[in-house]
Amino acid sequence: MSKQLLFIYNPKAGRQRIRNMLSGVLEEFAAQGYEPTVHPTQEGGEAERVARDEGGSFARVVCCGGDGTLNEVVSGLIGLPCQQRPVVGYIPAGSTNDFARTLGLPRSVGQMARTACIGQPRAVDVGLANQTPFVYVCAFGLFTDVAYSTPQNAKNSLGHLAYVLEGAGRLMNVPTYHMTIHTDDGRQLEEDFVFGMVSNTRSVGGVNCMPADSVKLDDGLFEVTLVRPPRSPKDWQSILATLSGQEVSQEDAVIRFSASRITFRCDQPVSWTVDGEFGGEWQEAEIENLPQAIRIACPGNT
């Protein structure tokens, strides 16, 4: 008897790359004995709706698209009781695929589809930013705007930063946000920042931005990165070095720590990005970690 899975894909992701992948994906499902229920999305929010309404009837939901599609599917499944949440298979077809990179998903279409349908389930944490689920990152401030104000193919925020910084010096006048920050473990800060990020990933914007082995996806903790207003071009260099995953030594331009729950309060509304898309404009953002809330199929027994 054939096995069932729900396959949700975003035909527009990654400049429609998926059109070339589709046949290979479906053939691999068939080769593994699966008979998929196929759902191409036609508008934003649809993947979330389908995952929430239909996901509970399947043992496995495979999604294909960018990290935004994965965010939607996970957001939908988080609405189900824990024991009804299916394993998520992810076939990345976006432009940066940050989270796929962090998960170590394979690159070839056949391997990706195989991992998605028979890969080893791995528990990963999910975040909530003012109740909006996120899979790997939420952020405010500098160069987060580009993530959602530019076309899909330019969605590469840190890469964009690096590019902008090539021109150096002209970024001394950047917006600052006066933030009061509290964590569940008693850390308190009140300072101006130009950028803040709460993440559970190694890669953001196509850049491996965390030191190797410092990120665990299922430890109930986020990495928090805060960038102080730079006072000199040299500060920008150390910021860039830090955000490119190099260790900071005796620099105070960037603050980094871990937390499972963190609150940001600002004296003005702040735009936040959630998994690379616009998340909301919040004066207060309460971010919490839902430990091991979802299982994602990873290479291992394939």
> Is 161 a binder of Mg ion (CB under 5 A)?
no
Lookup: tokens for 101: 């990179």
- Restricting to residues 5-64, name those near Mg ion by CB under 5 A: none
Report in angstroms how near the CB of residue 115 gets to Mg ion at its nearest.
21
Member of 41, 132, 200, 273 binding Mg ion (CB under 5 A): 200
Member of 54, 219, 251, 277 binding Mg ion (CB under 5 A): 219
Nearer Cβ to Mg ion (127/230)? 127
Nearer Cβ to Mg ion (181/224)? 224
Nearer Cβ to Mg ion (253/255)? 255
Which of 23-31, 105-113, 172-180, 196-204 is the region at the interface with Mg ion (rule: CB under 5 A)? 196-204
Report in angstroms how near the CB of residue 237 gets to Mg ion at its nearest.
28
> Is 221 a binder of Mg ion (CB under 5 A)?
yes
Q: How far is CA 52 from CA 46, 171, 208, in A?
A: 10, 43, 32
Which of 157-165, 214-222, 235-243, 262-270 is the region at the interface with Mg ion (rule: CB under 5 A)? 214-222
Rounded Cα distance between 99 and 217, Å, is: 10
Q: What do you get for the CA distance between the two ends of the chain, in Å?
A: 21
Rounded Cα distance between 117 and 261, Å, is: 33
Report in angstroms how near the CB of residue 261 gets to Mg ion at its nearest.
13
Report in angstroms how near the CB of residue 256 gets to Mg ion at its nearest.
13
Nearer Cβ to Mg ion (54/219)? 219
Rounded Cα distance between 263 and 240, Å, is: 25
Which of 15-23, 31-39, 57-65, 216-224 is the region at the interface with Mg ion (rule: CB under 5 A)? 216-224
Nearer Cβ to Mg ion (102/144)? 102
- What is the contact surface with Mg ion in residues (CB under 5 A)? 200, 216, 219, 221
